[in-house]
Structure 1
């Protein structure tokens, strides 16, 4: 008997677990599989609705009593680097960008381990071994690239970003960098460079993942001009991050069934023609 994948994606929700960003909160995710010949169309459509990719899964926060996690992107046309960001660009002018196919290497994994041990030793990825790392990089059903940053003087790999190419932008799925260069601002530099990558490719947005007001881990994203957040079913300009107050109330989010019903899906049948 031949089995085929359903044309309509099936959505599921994870069990509540401690939130990695806000103490005392529980997180829950709405997710669906990213697979089949329509994976690109589905990824483009759901990314524009606040979803993120992790290997072959698309997910979006769906917490019962909190709506603090907001999908964020930079409007490339509206972006202007600040004085400190221009200094970061100048400080990293010796770096050389190299875009490759999504293929994991020993150098990448060694840098990844150094980054985790220094910055996220107690995080959810702290125990990731080389095989799990390779799966994170290589298991992608869509158009993805690994963007490497080399110190041309020392011939040393100092930064890596797994990047998806969407119909309307580039999505920084996961990035890591040398932890022993704090003054270089490598994490910010990679975002600034992705703005240039998107601009040169004629793509309007750089998707950054989630911005979480009140989380020190995610605060850096609000420092980029042209930032938009997905709120109330649409993208909105973030005018004043300091005064933004997220919803943390039992009625913050719609029931799961209503959330799924309001997701706009691409026409799978048309995309097969």
Structure 2
């Protein structure tokens, strides 16, 4: 991949889209991870207003530190970048007090993790509406169209997706070219939604490199019987997640009413 040309292409696309939409710029949730770092840097390079929002909910200090380091770097480089920190921990805890908890603990943990993502989405759209900005998504191709590793109407609730046609390794290549902080480039990917140290790989059961391979194999029409050992295990993980998460990747089903019934 030609990182310079891809970067220039995305920056041009972002700027043209925003100008055509007659908005002032972008708002990006900053997590301390590579995807949000690359997305916010590309937005900043458009020269349009770029609001970086930190949205901690019981966030690990290492994640907060990486997010702060990145935002500080952006603000030093770009006059069009501003920041706001909205700690949603109290909001999240208040939410937990008013909903029933009869679910099994595993389902409850996942429901609350997705709630964190949806609280963040709501906050980003608050600022988007306040300042006339577009919410820029930070999902990559593997997450958005491979295994559906995002929260519906959470981090999946965005206006535009600048890096959704790039697999994770390509996002890392862009991050290196854009000189995002080394601490972010080296950090293990995590969604930070469970309040512990689990990584994306811990949750999925496969690394992003393995998932990229599996996506390529699916596109080539391969089946489980074409593989053995770890390759078969990874491909099984990928196909299972790709199948059960199709509801995130396709348009919302609409019940079309026949004209004869109207």
The two structures have a TM-score, normalised by structure 2, of: 0.30
The two structures have a TM-score, normalised by structure 1, of: 0.29
Q: Which has the higher contact order (CA 8 A, sep 6+)?
A: 1
Which structure shows the higher strand fraction?
1
